[in-house]
Chains A and B, each alone.
Chain A
């Protein structure tokens, strides 16, 4: 009897296993690009591959032409500011203008070497492979204006020694973007791993569950999601913007089956994400003031990759006695990696790992201190201003990485300046010549902007909304982290929070009342004891 059952069980297991295998054999996609003769060619350049792609995907280049990944130009719908990488100045390497072939190595196109012109308009100047390569061996040269390395010379965009990419293999492998397609650029923003964002690092290629519940593998207990699962695309435009953020999402999940093009937590988790019990109800009460990220991303730069937290350009240019650039590597990460704390080319740095965010009301609007804005150099200048206040009803308290900077500005015109830092062959580039006067002059010329010729350095803050690296629920920020005196949200205005001010006027009054009562009772008892021993007296 038992044997019969065991045999039957085994048979069921085996048959279901074969069924599963058979299922996997059916391709998810209706097209296997390795079978397309037009892709089975020994391509000599990136644009050649793009031409082949466009023979079938006839509208792709037009879609890409309007995408911010290609234009690096963005007109803010609410403030009207002209933003995008081609315009803004940040507190990292400063600006793209003046440093094109280095910075445009991460452009989703080929050959953009002059920021004063729009990105190259030719149909084959789009880089299809950087997003769609699935062979994991396509890359871009760090200094090649977006072109891939065709020989083992130089560095790649992730800082590795370059190799000769196999364009045929890459072209035949194409599919939908996964983590490395996005991460090879976005994890390395600012010139290195996690330098810029704080919540986007190489730790997310294959994160553990405690680093990211969405992107960790199913075996890890995660969801195995890739970037594009949240950053859904429509016509090569992606949900999720750092200039115009969906800071609160009252639309929620939408109607059943409704396609939502929003990279918000609410688009999947809805407006009342916590379970309907007495605890969940109280937690749901917080969603009108807090972004999900505020509790569910307790720290950023988790997973062993530090983020740059301070960059002081003013100290750059110090050379050794032989006139050679120097470096100091005094920061040691949790994984034992030594990181630069001083470079002659870049100045002083500091880093943070598992860092507690800075919190502020945020309605999603980010205004940049572009070169045309006057700054007040006597104060710390906000490179980007985070808008929002409690009263507007759509702001939420958000977590940010607050980057501290010290960078060059024009002391006569009081504006931030573009700097020409990269340029191995020019006599003006700072990283080659260590001369700020020349580097700023050349940067402003490259950006085609007026410059007085006088400069100094100013302290800056730059704010980066934290939204990735969502931790498991049990690691969410504990109530008491905020509900205590000088808690995490102590500096956020317009908030009443229980437990933060036990010694307010009423608290002190109450404590005084208790104290006086106790003193009265004790005094009464003492007088009773020391006066004639009480014998009578009924009742309380």
Chain B
């Protein structure tokens, strides 16, 4: 095993991530305004912005889904039980003792088990919940009859709940960037694309030969 600087986040994945940051932030701020949490943005413009950001995010997700399946990256997001307990134990205990993170990032597995499980729940339950309810909310008048008050009440509340869960995710997500090597070190790969990864000799040889652009030369 050799530590090498490898491009782990290709350009599209970084674009995907930062676009999500912008759009989800816009949706959070406008959505909270629409819900009555604050009144920083006038209601009408907030509706427009929320709708446009949501449609843009949906389009982005369609591209991302296509990308995940065509590149095989989807496998990164399949959760595994193995190793999850040790990661959980680390965050709950070891981190306070100054222990090393039990998970070593490897080439085909950039998420630790807890991360993968979180993204799995997020991608398969929370995100679908928010966009299904959001689309139903948006298209209310296409399907509603005069007795749809209960339906729209349930839909709106599910939408709201999913939004709060995503809000909680964002808090933890940002906080965990500060654990370990520090915030800057953690954010950097998502900006530059490169991170330090343990490569097997086979992986290293494969990348040297076939995808030299993904490897940074070893500093002498």
Contacts and interface: CB of A to CB of B under 8 A. Distances in A.
Interface of A: 278-279, 282, 284-285, 288, 390-393, 478-480, 483-485, 494-496, 498-502, 504-507, 509-511, 513-514, 517-518, 521, 524-525, 527-528, 531-540
A510 B48 contact: no
Given A285-B141, A502-B35, A496 B153 contact: yes
A502 B36 contact: yes
A390 B163 contact: no
Interface string B80-98: 0000000000110011111
Contacts of A521: 171-172, 175
Given A478-B44, A484-B36, A502-B37, A537 B95 contact: yes
10 contacts: A479-B47, A501-B36, A502-B37, A510-B165, A510-B167, A513-B164, A532-B96, A536-B99, A537-B101, A540-B115
B73 interface: no
A510 B104 contact: no
A475 to B, nearest CB: 14
Interface residues of B, number: 56
B131 interface: no
B84 to A, nearest CB: 14
Contacts of B90: 537
Contacts of B20: none
Contacts of A494: 149
B14 interface: no
B200 interface: no
Contacts of B51: 278, 282
Interface string B103-144: 111000000100100000000000000000000000011001
Contacts of A535: 98
B186 A517 contact: no
Given A496-B152, A517-B172, A539 B103 contact: yes
Contacts of A537: 90, 94-95, 98-101, 179-181
A82 B99 CA distance: 89
Nearest to B168: A517
Interface in B145-187: 145-147, 149, 152-153, 156-157, 160-161, 163-165, 167-168, 171-173, 175-181, 186
A278 B164 CA distance: 26
A506 B97 contact: no
Given A279-B48, A510-B164, A539-B181, 11 more contacts: A284-B141, A478-B43, A484-B36, A501-B36, A517-B171, A531-B97, A534-B179, A535-B98, A537-B100, A538-B104, A540-B179
A532 B97 contact: yes
B171 A540 contact: no
B42 interface: yes
A507 B35 contact: yes
A446 to B, nearest CB: 46
Nearest to B110: A539
A392 B147 CA distance: 9
Contacts of B98: 531-537
User: Among A279, A478, A498, A533, which residue has the most Cβ atoms of chain B within 10 A?
Assistant: A498
Contact of A538 (B42, B94, B100, B177): B100
B25 interface: no
Contact of B186 (A478, A480, A540): A540
B147 to A, nearest CB: 6
B48 A525 contact: no
A147 B141 CA distance: 55
